[in-house]
Structure 1
Amino acid sequence: MDSAFQLKDDSGECWRDIGAEALRQGNHQVVEMSYQKTKDFDRLSFLYMLTGNSENLKKMLKIATMRKDTMGRYNTALFLGDAAERVRVLEETGNHNLAFVCAKIHSLDEEAGRIASVIVAAGGTVEGLVEAATAGGGSRIGCLLQPPTPIVRANNWPTISLPKHSMENMENVVVHDISPSSGEDAPEKWGEDEFDESQAAKGSSGVVPTPDDDLDLSDVDAWDEDDLEFGDEVPDDYGIKNFNDGAMPDIDNSGCAMPKAGQTASAVWVSNSSHAADHAAAGSMETAMQLLHRQVAIAHYVPLKSYMVGAFLGAQVSIPFTGGSCSLPLFRNDASGFPGKESLPLKGLKMRLLELSLKESFRAFQGGKFTDAMNGFMEIIQKIPLTVTDGRNEGMEVRIY
C-alpha cells in the first residue's frame, strides 16, 4: 500500500493489482480503496451491495446521477431495491412502456397514471402492457428485486497473520559454526565450566555475520576423495526398521495415527433397514425400488415418486450460515434409536396419517363426492408401501388396508 501511494501511478495498474489480490483474500476495505483510486464506480457499487453498505450505495446513486451515467444509475437502483428510482430512469430515457409496467407492478399508482397519460398523448395505449409483461405466470410474474441482506458486513474474511521478513533484520540471525575440525584439537567432552553465558546469547560459536565478513576458503583442498571411504553396500542392521513397506499403514511420517473414517448416516440407514421408506430417505432410490419390486411386486414407480422424494426431504434439514457460505445439510435420525449402529431416518409416513386420510375418504364417499373419495383411497394405497409402522399391531392394520 505504501509503495502504491509513492508510485502515483496515473494508469491505475498498481491499484488494480492490489484490488484483485485484496479481493482474493477477502479484504474488502482495501478493495474499496483500490476501486476508489481507479474510479471503478460499477465494481464499487457492486461491492457495497455485497457488504450491505446501503448508505454508500445511496451516495453512489447520487454520483451516477451527477455523472449522467444512466446504466450505473439504474444498476445502483436495482442494488438498493428502489423501484421509484428505476421508474424515473426509464421515463427519462424515453422507455415509457417499461416505466409504466415497472410502476404498475410495484403499485406506484401515481407514477403509473402520469406515465399512462404521456403514452396516450403520444398516440399509444397502455392496454395489455401489464398482461403482456406477466404472461406465462410462474417465475415470470413481476416482483420486487430486493438483494439479500448480508449478515457479516464490516468484517473481512479471517486470515492467518504471517511474520514479516526483510533484508533489514538479517543481521539479527544467529549462524552456528559447523566448520569441520580435526580430532586432535577437539575436546574430549563438554564441561559445565566451559559454558559461557555470552555464548548462549550468540549461539554455540557466537558468530554473527556482518556485511564485512570474509569467507576463508583457503583450506578447501584439505579434504581428499581417498579420505572418504564408503563401502559398496550400506548395511541394513542399524536398528532402524523401515515402515515404508506398509507394515503400519495407519501412521504417517509424523507418527500420528489417524482414526478410520466412519460411515455416513445415509449409508448406516441403508445397512440397518430393509424397508423401502428408509432407503428412499437415505437417497438410495435404486435399492428402494428393488425392495418394492421384491417385497410387493411393484413395477410402476411414477405414482410413488412424490412420496419417495418426500421421505428423502423429510429426513434432512439444511442449516443456513453467514453470508457468503453454503448451508450445512444434516440428517435427521429417529429419536427412538441410538444414533450409531441402530440409526434410522425420521419417519415421514406414519399410521396416523393413513387413518386421517381414510376418514376423509369415507367422509367424501358419504357426501357423494365419489371422485374425491376414489382419489383419497388411491392415495392411501400408494402411501402404504412407504409407511413405517411401530410394532406388529400397526403392521397388521396396514395389511388390513
Structure 2
Amino acid sequence: GYSEIALHFIKDERTRFELSLECGNVEAALASAKELNDDGCWIKLAAHALDHGNVQVVEVCHQRVKNLDKLTFLYLITGDLEKVKKMQKVADMRGDYGSLYQTSLLIDDATEQIKVLKASGKFVLAYLTAKNHGLDEEAQSIAESCEISPEVLAKLPATSGPLKPSQPISSQPHGNWPLLNVSKSVFDRFFATYEANNAKNTQFDDDEDGEDATGAWGDDDDNNFVDAPTGSGTFYTEDNLYGVEGDEEDGGWGMDPELQIDEDIGRELVSGLQSTGFTMPSSEANPLEIWARNSPLPADHITAGSFETAMQLLNRQIGVVNFAPLKPLFLSLYQSSQSYLVANSSLPSQAFAIRRNPEETNRSQIRPINVHDFQSLLAKLKEGYRLFNANKPIEATEVFSNLLHSIPLLVAESRSDAEEAQQMIQICREYILGLNIDRARRETPTSDPEGLKRALELAAYFTHCQLDPKHSIITINLAMTLNFKNKNFVTASLFSRRLLELGPNPKLSTQAKQIQQVSERTPRDEVSINYDQYNPFVVCAKSLVPIYQGSPSVQCGYCKASYLPEYKDQLCTICELSQIGLNGTGLKLN
C-alpha cells in the first residue's frame, strides 16, 4: 500500500516504474521507461496508459517498440486519418505489402490497393478492385498488360460497388480521455515546495564581494552547492519550517537543548493525508446488484442474474431441492429484465435494466420488471380449467404444473394478489392430485377383482379433491356411474346424494335421482372398497391411499401435499420441486 508515497523515496528506476503503474501515475512511469528504455516496459506502459485513456503515451510507447500495426489501429480508432496515411507511407518505405494493403483499405485508397495487388501478382484481384471503384480505364489497362483472357473475365462475379470504411464522427483527432482533477496529497505538496525552494537556494550569488573561496573549482557550472548559512542567517523552506537561529555557544548550528516535541505532529500529518489525499470517485452501482442486494424476493434475484442466491432463497423459504423444472423460467425472467441497444457491428450491444417502478428515485427501492405477473397466472389457471373440462388430463396436468412452478417467481403488486397466489397453490395441488388419481384409475386393469376394487377406490378418492364445483360434479358423476355399473348400490347412492347437493343440470339431476331410487331398493355393494366418506381424510400423493384424520403424515414444504411418513425426505410428486417434510420460512411474494 501507499505506493504513491513510496514513489517519492525510491531511486531505483525499475522499482519506480512498477510503483508508478501501481498507483496510476502514467507520467512518472513514462519518465522511468525512458531511463530504462526496455521493450518490455514500453509494452507494459502502453497497456496501462490505454486503461487510463492517455492516448499520447500509448502512441509514444508503440513508436518506441516499432509496433506499427497497433500504432495504425490506435490512429484509426481515435479518428486521426492523417496519421493513418503517414503509416501508409511508412509501410511503403519498408516494403511491407501486407501493412500497406491493410492501411489502404482503412483509408479507402483504391490506387494504392491496385498497386499492391499488381506488385503481389494478384492481377485478377487488382482488376476487380479497379472495377469496384469505377476505374474502368485502369481495369482495362490491367486486363491488357497482364493478359487476362476474356474467358477468365467472363467468369468473374459482377461488381456491386466499393466497400467503404466507416468515417470518424469528428474530423478532429481525439486527445487523451478527460480525467477528474485530483488534489495533491500532503507529500506531493511538501516535496514540490521543498524542491522549488531548494532550487532557489542552490543558485550561486554572482554579486557577492571578495574572492571565491573555491578557487578554480568554482568554474564548474555542473556543481551546485548550497552556501552554509551563517550564524545569523536562516535556511528557508516551506513556511520557514526549518528556521535555524544563530547561536554563539552552539557554533552557529542553532541546536536548541530545550526543543519542545509536539506529539500531535504525526497525527496531524496522517489526518491531513487522509483528508486531502487522493480519493477514488465512487462508481454508480450496477442496477442488477441493487436488485439482488435489496430484495427478499427470489424473482428479483433471478432477474438480476444472481441464480445462486435465488436458489438459496427458494430452498430456505419453501424447501426447493429440484431446480431443473425452474430452469426455463429462470432464463425467461433474466432475459426479459434487460433491453439491448444494438450499436456498431464491431461493438457489443448496450444493456439497459428495465424497472417496474420507473418513478422511484430512491435507489434502494428500485426493482426490476417481472413478466410473471398475477394476470398471467390467472390466464394459465383459466387454460387449465378449460383443458380439465375438455377431458384432456395430460395437457391440463402440464398447465397446472407450469402454474405451480411459476408462482414462486411471482412479484405480487399487493397483499391481496399475494394471498390469491397462495390460494392458487392449493388449487393447483388439488387438480394435479386429482388428475394423478384419475390417470392411475385409467391405467388400472379391471379384469380381475383386485384391479376393479382399486379402480373404484380411486374414483371415490377423486371426489374428495377440492375442485371447482362444476368440476366436482364431473368427478362425483364418474364415481356414481362406475359404482352403479359394478352393482355397488350403497356407494352409488352416497354419490348420487352428493351430486344432487351441487345442483347439476336437469339431465344429470334426473339420472342421479333414478340411481338413488334403484340403489335404495337394493341396498348392497358387490365390491367392498376401502372408502369411508364419513371419516375425514386426505389422499397420500405418492401411494394414493387415504390418510384418515389423526393418522401421522408429512407435507411438502411448498404445495402442502400430504404423504405417509415413509415418504419423508423424498421429492414431492405434485410440485416436483420441494422435499417432503422439509419446512421453510414461507414463500415471499411481495
TM-score (norm 2): 0.37
**Counterpart amino acid of residue 159 in structure 1:** G
CA–CA distance in structure 1, aligned partners of residues 408 and 385 of structure 2:
21
| Corresponding residue for residue 409 of structure 2 | 386
CA–CA distance in structure 2, aligned partners of residues 62 and 218 of structure 1:
61
Equivalent position to 1:43, from 99, 123, 128: 99
1:269–1:46 distance in 2 versus 1, CA, 3 Å:
same
Matched, 1:68 2:121: yes
Partner secondary structure for residue 317 of structure 1: strand
| Corresponding residue for residue 251 of structure 1 | 275
Deviations along 1:211-263, one digit per CA (max 9) or x if unpaired, are: xx995989987768964445699754499674454x47752337xx7776675
| Corresponding residue for residue 131 of structure 1 | none
CA–CA distance in structure 2, aligned partners of residues 364 and 148 of structure 1:
59
Please report how far the alpha carbon of residue 388 of structure 1 lies from its aligned counterpart in structure 2 after TM superposition.
Answer: 1.0
Equivalent position to 2:361, from 338, 341, 346: 338
Q: Contact (CA 8 Å) 2:87, 2:103: kept in 1 or not?
A: no
| Corresponding residue for residue 316 of structure 1 | 338
Structure index of larger Rg: 2
Matched, 1:376 2:399: yes
Please report how far the alpha carbon of residue 344 of structure 1 lies from its aligned counterpart in structure 2 after TM superposition.
Answer: 1.5
CA–CA distance in structure 2, aligned partners of residues 275 and 231 of structure 1:
71
Q: Contact (CA 8 Å) 1:45, 1:57: kept in 2 or not?
A: no
CA–CA distance in structure 2, aligned partners of residues 177 and 381 of structure 1:
85
Please report how far the alpha carbon of residue 158 of structure 1 lies from its aligned counterpart in structure 2 after TM superposition.
Answer: 1.3
Please report how far the alpha carbon of residue 288 of structure 1 lies from its aligned counterpart in structure 2 after TM superposition.
Answer: 0.9
Equivalent position to 1:159, from 153, 175, 184: 175
Please report how far the alpha carbon of residue 385 of structure 1 lies from its aligned counterpart in structure 2 after TM superposition.
Answer: 0.9
Please report how far the alpha carbon of residue 356 of structure 1 lies from its aligned counterpart in structure 2 after TM superposition.
Answer: 2.8
Partner secondary structure for residue 397 of structure 1: helix
Partner secondary structure for residue 365 of structure 2: coil
Q: Contact (CA 8 Å) 2:88, 2:103: kept in 1 or not?
A: no
1:288–1:155 distance in 2 versus 1, CA, 3 Å:
same
**Counterpart amino acid of residue 336 in structure 2:** G
Matched, 1:266 2:282: no
| Corresponding residue for residue 87 of structure 2 | 34
CA–CA distance in structure 1, aligned partners of residues 260 and 405 of structure 2:
75
| % identical equivalent positions | 21
Deviations along 1:191-224, one digit per CA (max 9) or x if unpaired, are: xxxxxxxxxxxxxxxxxxxxxx995989987768
Q: Contact (CA 8 Å) 2:91, 2:99: kept in 1 or not?
A: no
CA–CA distance in structure 1, aligned partners of residues 324 and 74 of structure 2:
47
**Counterpart amino acid of residue 299 in structure 2:** A
Please report how far the alpha carbon of residue 350 of structure 1 lies from its aligned counterpart in structure 2 after TM superposition.
Answer: 0.8
1:242–1:152 distance in 2 versus 1, CA, 3 Å:
same
1:43–1:356 distance in 2 versus 1, CA, 3 Å:
farther
| Corresponding residue for residue 300 of structure 2 | 278
Note the 1:49-128 alignment, pairs <5 A.
55-56=108-109, 60=113, 64=117, 67-69=120-122
1:219–1:273 distance in 2 versus 1, CA, 3 Å:
closer
TM-score (norm 1): 0.51
**Counterpart amino acid of residue 117 in structure 2:** A
1:227–1:271 distance in 2 versus 1, CA, 3 Å:
same
Q: Contact (CA 8 Å) 1:19, 1:31: kept in 2 or not?
A: no
**Counterpart amino acid of residue 35 in structure 1:** Q
Equivalent position to 1:399, from 398, 402, 422: 422
Please report how far the alpha carbon of residue 375 of structure 1 lies from its aligned counterpart in structure 2 after TM superposition.
Answer: 3.0
Please report how far the alpha carbon of residue 179 of structure 1 lies from its aligned counterpart in structure 2 after TM superposition.
Answer: 4.5
1:380–1:276 distance in 2 versus 1, CA, 3 Å:
same
Q: Contact (CA 8 Å) 1:28, 1:156: kept in 2 or not?
A: no
Q: Contact (CA 8 Å) 1:251, 1:258: kept in 2 or not?
A: no
| Corresponding residue for residue 301 of structure 1 | 323
Q: Contact (CA 8 Å) 1:314, 1:348: kept in 2 or not?
A: yes
1:325–1:240 distance in 2 versus 1, CA, 3 Å:
farther
| Number of matched pairs | 278
Which structure features the higher share of helix residues?
A: 2
Partner secondary structure for residue 296 of structure 2: coil
**Counterpart amino acid of residue 333 in structure 1:** R
Note the 1:163-174 alignment, pairs <5 A.
none
Please report how far the alpha carbon of residue 327 of structure 1 lies from its aligned counterpart in structure 2 after TM superposition.
Answer: 4.7
**Counterpart amino acid of residue 84 in structure 2:** V
Please report how far the alpha carbon of residue 387 of structure 1 lies from its aligned counterpart in structure 2 after TM superposition.
Answer: 1.2
CA–CA distance in structure 1, aligned partners of residues 294 and 228 of structure 2:
75
Note the 1:116-265 alignment, pairs <5 A.
150=166, 152=168, 155=171, 158-160=174-176, 179=203, 227-230=252-255, 236-237=261-262, 242-245=267-270, 247=271, 251-253=275-277, 263-265=285-287
Partner secondary structure for residue 121 of structure 2: coil
**Counterpart amino acid of residue 298 in structure 1:** V
1:240–1:388 distance in 2 versus 1, CA, 3 Å:
same
Q: Contact (CA 8 Å) 2:201, 2:226: kept in 1 or not?
A: no
CA–CA distance in structure 2, aligned partners of residues 69 and 234 of structure 1:
88
**Counterpart amino acid of residue 343 in structure 1:** I
CA–CA distance in structure 2, aligned partners of residues 355 and 151 of structure 1:
53
Matched, 1:349 2:405: no
Please report how far the alpha carbon of residue 337 of structure 1 lies from its aligned counterpart in structure 2 after TM superposition.
Answer: 3.7
Please report how far the alpha carbon of residue 275 of structure 1 lies from its aligned counterpart in structure 2 after TM superposition.
Answer: 0.9
1:224–1:334 distance in 2 versus 1, CA, 3 Å:
same
